[in-house]
Amino acid sequence: MRKKIVAANWKMNMTQAEASRFVEALLLRDVGEITDVEVVIVPPFTAIAKVTEALGNAQNIKVGAQNMYWEKNGPFTGEISAALLRDLFVHYVVLGHSERRTLFGETDEIVNRKVRVAHEAKLRPIACIGETLEQRDRGNVEKILAMQLRGSLAGLTPKDLQETVVAYEPVWAIGTGRTATPEQAQEAHAFIRKTLREMADDTTGEHVRIQYGGSVKPENARELMSQPDIDGALVGGASLDPRSFAQIVKAARER
């Protein structure tokens, strides 16, 4: 049985003060006591330490980062390494988000280098894939997903694959208010799991958790996450409000 994982991707939002207030509000809603769903908060780098501090003893809520560089250290102005993230008690790192791919030129090869380095540093990657609307309209969803998955996760051992979270985020559903239907999302997730089985073995395919991302809200979260191959959500806009994020986490518990 895969444990559901719901993550708040704050993107380029939230000052330190706002981050503290968010965590306090989340804990007041008893999200700190939930153990049957893994909860991850992914702040901008500048608020990571503040979130960890505000979480205090609520150790079931993990902290993630939105990106990292693959080099260990050195003259890479503006970049952050896996070791620097570990130093901040970060557990997860989102890699290859579609915004990084489209705005900052990240390719599957770049994402793959980062994913491998994350595993070496014992950080768990949340590797993002997803097709554009044009690719969907042309009937290329499976082709694109297979290419991104095989490229971004190339060369991983079955163990590392099992410890990777895949986020399926159709680009046309990100920040648009237009969610994939539960059927569309389930179809893509089932295909991703089938591809993971082919890349490694059946056990690995069954273990990997696949999150859905793209306009997830309290109103659609339960139906999406009750699909057999949808193991949680990567939430953008709705994760900026503690009330709606708590509702989405709670929706992951309902079967």
List interacting residues with ligand 13P (CB under 6 A): 9, 97, 169, 174-175, 213-216, 234-238
Nearer to ligand 13P, 69 or 168 (CB): 168
Q: Which of 38, 97, 99, 119 is catalytic?
A: 97
Cα within 13 Å of Cα(200), Cβ side? 23
Q: Which of 99, 119, 169, 189 is catalytic?
A: 169
Residue tagged 């009937």 (tokens): 139
Q: How far apart are CA 61 and CA 63, in angstroms?
A: 7
Q: How far apart are CA 69 and CA 118, in angstroms?
A: 9
Supply 185's token pair: 């999302």
Q: How far is the CB of 197 from ligand 13P (least distance, A)?
A: 25
Known catalytic residue at 198: no
Known catalytic residue at 97: yes
Query: Residue 211: beta bridge partners?
Result: 167
Find all residues with CB under 8 Å of 201, minimum gap 6, and list them: 158
Cα within 13 Å of Cα(7), Cβ side? 34
Q: How far is the CB of 36 from ligand 13P (least distance, A)?
A: 22
Q: How far is CA 134 from CA 65, 138, 191, in A?
A: 30, 6, 19
232-235 and 124-129 as β-strands: parallel, antiparallel, unpaired?
unpaired
Nearer to ligand 13P, 9 or 112 (CB): 9
Residue nearest ligand 13P by beta-carbon distance: 236
Nearer to ligand 13P, 6 or 161 (CB): 6
Nearer to ligand 13P, 62 or 205 (CB): 62
Q: How far is the CB of 126 from ligand 13P (least distance, A)?
A: 9
Q: How far is the CB of 202 from ligand 13P (least distance, A)?
A: 29
Catalytic residues: 97, 169
